[in-house]
């Protein structure tokens, strides 16, 4: 799977990301990755549930991966920050 089949979740409304997922599936993608970090994780779960329950009921959750990324300190002499991550793979 190429990285072009990844939907990176940020601060936009849920339906923007749902549309991106539906567009990828209609474009011929068999699998897509929905990726998010930090506070956007709950938004990613909402996107996946809307895609599955409302628009593409034949889409299944293939894999869910969770982890932690360590970010560099924001200011000089600060300590690094840990941020939770999630990657949800959807397949037709």
* pLDDT, position 70: 95
**Domain extents for the chain?**
3-91
Q: In what order do the strands lie in the sheet with 60-71?
A: 6-8, 31-37, 81-91, 60-71
Place of tokens 């011929």: 28
11-27: per-residue pLDDT in tens?
Answer: 999 999 999 999 999 99
42-73: per-residue pLDDT in tens?
Answer: 999 999 999 999 999 999 999 999 999 999 99
> Phi and psi (nearest 5°) for 36?
-155, 160
How many CB atoms sit inside 10 A of residue 74's CB? 9
Q: Which CATH superfamily is domain 3-91 in?
A: Alba-like domain (3.30.110.20)
In angstroms, the Cα distances linking 86 to 4, 24, 26, 52, 66 are 17, 19, 24, 18, 4
């Amino acid at each position: 799977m190429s990285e072009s089949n990844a939907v990176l979740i940020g601060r936009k409304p849920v339906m923007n990301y749902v549309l991106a997922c539906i567009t990828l599936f209609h474009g011929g993608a068999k699998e897509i990755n929905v990726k998010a970090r930090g506070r956007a994780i709950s938004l990613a779960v909402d996107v996946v549930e809307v895609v599955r329950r409302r628009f593409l009921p034949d889409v299944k959750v293939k894999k869910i991966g969770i982890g932690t990324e360590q970010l560099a300190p924001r200011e000089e002499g600060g300590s690094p920050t840990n941020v939770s991550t999630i990657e949800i793979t959807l397949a037709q």
